[in-house]
Amino acid sequence: MDEQNFSINTLCVQGGYTPGNGEPRQIPIVQSTTFKYDTSDEMGKLFDLEASGYFYSRLQNPTCDTVAAKIAALEGGSAAMLTGSGQAANFLALFNICSAGDHIVASSSIYGGTFNLISVTMAKMGITATFVSPDCTEEELNAAFQDNTRAVFGETIANPALTVLDIEKFANAAHAHGVPLIVDNTFATPINCRPFEWGADIVTHSTTKYMDGHGACVGGAIVDSGHFDWMAHADKFPGLCTPDESYHGVTYAERFGKEGAFITKATAQLMRDFGCVQSPINAYMLNLGLESLHVRMARHCENGQAVAEFLAAHPNITYVNYCGLPGDKYHALAEKYLPNGSCGVVSFGVKGGREAAKAFMGHLKVAAIETHVADARTCCLHPASTTHRQMNDEQLLAAGVQPDLVRMSCGLEDKNDLIRDIAQALDQI
Ligand SMILES: *Cc1c(COP(=O)(O)O)cnc(C)c1O
């Protein structure tokens, strides 16, 4: 379909795939590792990136590409790729432009797995990072940059701290230093925020969350805005702006331009070498989730808002983080970046601290204890004893995670049932 002319709601349902006469209405699952050619010369052109086509599903698969095209349309980007997980998406997005000796500026308020990836695993690869508070001043942000900085990273709505990123502030600083801003847009989804409209250059997703929405498939996606001019900063991005000897000397930024270079390199080089692919059947199920993303997000937000308001008025709750509450620290940023709602995730403290938080969770009947968010079913987690247990108290606080914090992901159930469940659990502690 002509993606320019339709609203995001229509793109959720029909974007990325327009069947021809007599073709399947639902996207075909091309469950094949490989593709057949009549001559070796034809296949050779694919290897040299001189022709486009499929030859091996570790690099590209038609089902995955169809779903990636829908996600690109939803974000308003020029190109996209699926990955096997959100972790893989963030790793490939960063590693596509950073190598040993390079440096990343990242918001300190990010997903624990991504914090580990950047601060521990990428450090072992010789890539260092400086973490800044998402609330830092422009001066503090600018001071974090070094000559070898190659990317800036943040999350639109941070998991689990629920801080809201001032995308324009981070984009302006990144661009002033000649590097792109990468934004993990998992929690907001393109329904509630499109980071490219605020200056972000690359968007990543854990599609495991709202995009899939049913707790069915782990997956990720990377989307390029097509706006960043790699060639204008060629000295910083030799991987994109000088010949790739592993691809017969192709220079990605020259051959594929601003719109295609980033995703082509990440596919042809990194996916080839790391192989963290999404399977065609998972891409198919992800697409089923995407077809109702716009309908589901509204209900997740409605339930999140109702639960946050109930908690904020409850005497056994010490604080509530939800940017939809007028008193929230991030309410003003949310009004700017998330005018239609944020997400269904609410975090809060229970009177009595760490132990009371765990006891409260044990009494819940509708909400289940899970290492998950953004599911149709309401779930909750105590990050300090689970996802963030590798962090010390100082790191926890920098990540916006108090030891007594409970993260609740409001699903698609009736909000009154969710509130009754929370009320009875609080009454028992
Ligand atoms: C879950 C999550 C990830 C990691 O994604 P996986 O699909 O679990 O690998 C990355 N970023 C954010 C914001 C997340 O919520």
Position in ligand 1 atom list of the atom nearest CA 88: 9
Distance CA 163, CA 155 (A): 9
Strands of the sheet containing 79-83, edge to edge, are 79-83, 220-224, 202-206, 181-184, 149-155, 103-107, 128-132
For residue 402, report the distance from its CA to the centre of ligand 1, in Å. Answer: 20
CA of 187 to the centre of ligand 1 (A): 9
Q: Is the CA virtual torsion 166, 307, 347, 74 positive or negative?
A: negative
Q: Are 427 and 143 in contact (CB under 8 A)?
A: no
Q: Which of 290, 274, 161, 146 is nearest to 214 (CA)?
A: 290
CA of 87 to the centre of ligand 1 (A): 6
| Distance in Å, CA 319 to ligand 1 centroid | 25
According to the model, what pLDDT value does residue 402 have?
Answer: 85
Interhelix angle 280-290/62-75, nearest 10 degrees: 30
Rounded distance from Cα 381 to ligand 1 centre (Å)? 15
CB neighbour burial string for 90-125, b if at least 16 within 10 angstroms, e if fewer:
bbbbbbbbbeeebbbbbbbbbbbbbbbbbbeebeee
Q: Which residue owns the Cα nearest ligand 1 atom 8?
A: 86
pLDDT of residue 354: 84
Contact 202, 180 (CB under 8 A): yes
Q: Which atom of ligand 1 is nearest to the CA of 373?
A: 15
For 239, the enclosing helix (H) or strand (E) is: helix 238-241
**Contact between residue 346 and residue 423 where contact means Cβ atoms under 8 Å apart:** no
Cα(96) to centroid of ligand 1, in Å?
Answer: 18
Residues in the chain: 429
Tell me how far the alpha carbon of residue 163 lies from the centroid of ligand 1, in angstroms.
Answer: 16
Question: What CA–CA distance (Å, rounded) separates 121 from 116?
Answer: 7
In this prediction, residue 404 carries a pLDDT of: 86
Ligand 1 atom with least separation from CA of 220: 7
Within 6 A (CB) of ligand 1 lie 85-87, 90, 111, 113-114, 155, 159, 184, 186-187, 206, 208-209, 218, 220
Which ligand 1 atom sits nearest the alpha carbon of residue 155?
A: 13
> Whose alpha carbon is nearest atom 15 of ligand 1?
159
* pLDDT score for 177: 98
Q: Is 383 exposed, middle or buried (0-12, 13-18, 19+ CB in 10 A)?
A: buried
CA-to-CA separations, 366 to 209, 210, 363, 377, in angstroms, rounded: 19, 19, 10, 8
Q: Which among 121, 206, 217, 401 is the best mutation to test ligand 1's pocket, defined by most ligand atoms within 8 Å of the CB? A: 206
| 234 Cα–ligand 1 center, Å | 31
Percent of the chain that is helix, strand, coil (3-state, to 5) = 45, 15, 40
One digit per residue, the tens of pLDDT, for the chain of length 429 reads 677 789 999 999 999 999 999 999 999 999 999 999 999 999 988 888 888 899 999 999 999 999 999 999 999 999 999 999 999 999 999 999 999 999 999 999 999 899 999 999 999 999 999 999 999 999 999 999 999 999 999 999 999 889 999 999 999 999 999 999 999 999 999 999 999 999 999 999 999 999 999 999 999 999 999 999 999 999 999 999 999 998 889 999 999 999 999 999 999 999 999 999 999 999 999 999 999 999 999 999 999 999 999 999 999 999 999 999 999 999 999 999 999 999 999 999 999 988 899 899 999 999 999 999 999 999 999 988 887 787 777 887 776 678 888 999 999 999 999 999 999 999 998
Please compute Rg for the chain using Cα positions: 22
What's residue 160's pLDDT?
85
